[in-house]
Structure 1
Amino acid sequence: MGVTGSGTSGTRFEVPNSSLADTVLERLTATYGATADPQRAVSMRAYMKDVAPFLGLTTPDRRVLSRTVLLATAAPEEADCTAVALRCWALPEREYHYFAVDYLRRHVRQLSSGFLPVTRHLVGTVSWWDTVDALAAHVVGGLVAADPKLKSDMDAWIEDDDLWVARTALLHQLRYKETTDTERLFAYCVRQSGHPDFFVRKAIGWCLREYAKTDPEAVRAFVAREQGRLAPLSVREALKNIGP
């Protein structure tokens, strides 16, 4: 079974055979579909700028339903995670994509460095902040932390023409705190400081603001040094909690 991404990578993935994924997807589509709210779906789609259709499930309801779907299912292996994620992403409604992100977050320790191309496909397909940011901080970040050799992939991602891939590179260290590679963090911010898109400029400020919780003086010094290159939005976000 093949899945071709509509994102910028153009990579084709074969969905692994997985009886676990068969069970999860059968339960998932039945459970989510039975509780869809078409009226709420209209407003949810509008809020997310028509990135995808919605079923109309609120986040609290969706999480309760997801627990029901996964009740008594086995712990997945990497192939199962790949199958669940790709099959969910092939469905049109956004809540299935959210389920996949949550599933990968829950089982990120089961994933090897070889899973990174799958995350690249997910980031670059039906892209918007609601899935990209969670994949960046909780899945890509976890993969890179577990295998530092993937830092070289992040060095390539920060150069990518796809703004969501570049945003992922910026945000992948969001939860690293004291283990943050500050040289890379600051270099990535400088590399994309002139980016014209709001979501990249915002990500620069966000990752700096988050690291400022760990080392505010380093962030102040960086912003002072690079203020001429950083966008005003990035500067405001970076210094929001610590001041100039």
Structure 2
Amino acid sequence: MTPEDALSALRAQSDPERAPGMAAYHKTDRPCLGTPNPAINDLVKDWRQDLSLPERTALADGLWQSGVFEARIAAAKLMTQARMRPSDTAAWDLMLTWVPEFDGWAIADHACSALSRRVMADLTRLDTLEGWTTSDHLWTKRAALVAALPLARLSIPKPEEIAARERVLGWAAGYTQDGAWFIQKAVGWWLRDLSKHDADRVRAFLETHSVAMKPFAVREASKYL
């Protein structure tokens, strides 16, 4: 499977009449094919079954490099896997090259979903995410929280996971001083998901930091309290 073959498959499942609406909804200047998400999922499922991890990584790289909106979504989906054997180093390294190119929430969220699996596989990778927290690039800064989101969703975290969660909450505390909508939304999202498992910790966070947060972010964080 070459990137050209994969792009042809995406085009074959596309509806060109949908493309302008998709581009407008996602506020992207990237080429859009009009391929619906269920079709992308079906194609990626077949590719994952047929390709080895090195082959999938190479295909994801090629799809990403195409710059096509749906191709970048497919690339991220190809890399979204909890366990990778024998090594996930190449996949991790590849995805790190994507982060500076994030330019919208849809591609960023799909890529962060893949990145988050690699973070949970090796929590020392939080060191990399911490470097993103001071980035001037909105989507890189946001990705630090979104790629660490599984830590907020643990029902029975291990001690090292609790420590990691507190580390990310420290980043979130700093983010409350940033008024950008997508940054505030990420803080609210993180706290909302954490509140399902540790409501008291979220209440304590809000007691200290809600004054700096936008009202919509506080509402988001408090949704399940």
* TM-score normalised over the length of structure 1: 0.79
Equivalent position of 2:80 in the other structure = 105
Q: What is the CA distance between 1:148 and its match in structure 2?
A: 2.3
What amino acid does structure 2 have at the position aligned with 1:73?
A: D
* Deviation of 1:117 (Å): 4.2
Q: In the alignment, what sits opposite 1:220? A: 203
Counterpart amino acid of 1:62? I
Relative to structure 1, the CA distance from residue 71 to residue 156 in structure 2 (aligned partners, 3 Å threshold; closer, same or farther) is closer
Cα distance change, pair 113–34 in 1 and its aligned pair in 2 (3 A): closer
Deviation of 1:38 (Å)? 1.5
Aligned partner of 1:84 among 50, 55, 59: 59
What residue in structure 1 maps to residue 172 of structure 2? Answer: 189
Which letter does structure 2 place at the counterpart of 1:199?
Answer: F
Q: Equivalents in 2 of 1:31, 1:51: separation in Å? A: 22
State the match for 1:73 in structure 2.
50
| C-alpha distance in 2 between matches for 1:214 and 1:184 | 17
Alignment TM-score, normalising by the size of structure 2: 0.85
- The equivalent of 1:14 in structure 2 is none
Q: 2:20 aligns with which of 3, 23, 42?
A: 42
**Aligned: 1:156 with 2:134:** no
Q: Percent identity?
A: 26
Instruction: Determine if the alignment matches structure 1 residue 121 to structure 2 residue 121.
Output: no
- Deviation track 1:96-129 (CA, whole Å, cap 9, x = no partner) reads 1111111000376245356444323212215211
Decide which structure has greater helix share.
2
Q: Is the 8 A contact 2:189 2:220 kept in 1?
A: yes
Residue 29 of structure 1 aligns with which residue? 7
Contact 1:38 1:55 in 2 (8 A): yes
Show structure 1 runs of 5+ residues with no match: 1-22
Task: Write the distance in 1 (CA, Å) between the matches of 2:200 and 2:29.
Answer: 39
Distance 1:183 1:71 in 2: 35
SS at match of 1:159: coil
Matched to 2:144, the amino acid is A
Residues 118-171 of structure 1: CA deviation (Å, up to 9, x unaligned): 3232122152111212322x3222222222222221221111111111111112
Q: Which moved more, 1:105-114 or 1:228-237?
A: 105-114
Q: Secondary structure at the match of 2:66?
A: coil
**Structure 1 residue identity aligned to 2:199:** P
Q: Which ranges in structure 2 are unaligned for 5 or more consecutive residues?
A: none
Alignment partner of 1:168 out of 139, 143, 162: 143
Q: Which amino acid aligns with 2:136?
A: D
Amino acid at match of 1:45: A
Distance 1:159 1:231, change over 3 A: same
In the alignment of these two chains, the number of paired residues is 216
Query: Partner of 1:175: helix, strand, or coil?
Result: helix
Q: 1:194·1:231 contact (CA, 8 Å) conserved in 2? A: no
User: Relative contact order (alpha carbons < 8 A, sep ≥ 6): 1 or 2 greater?
Assistant: 1
User: What is the Cα-based RMSD across aligned positions, in Å?
Assistant: 2.2
Name 2:41's counterpart in structure 1.
63
Alignment check: 8 A CA contact 1:52 1:126 kept = no
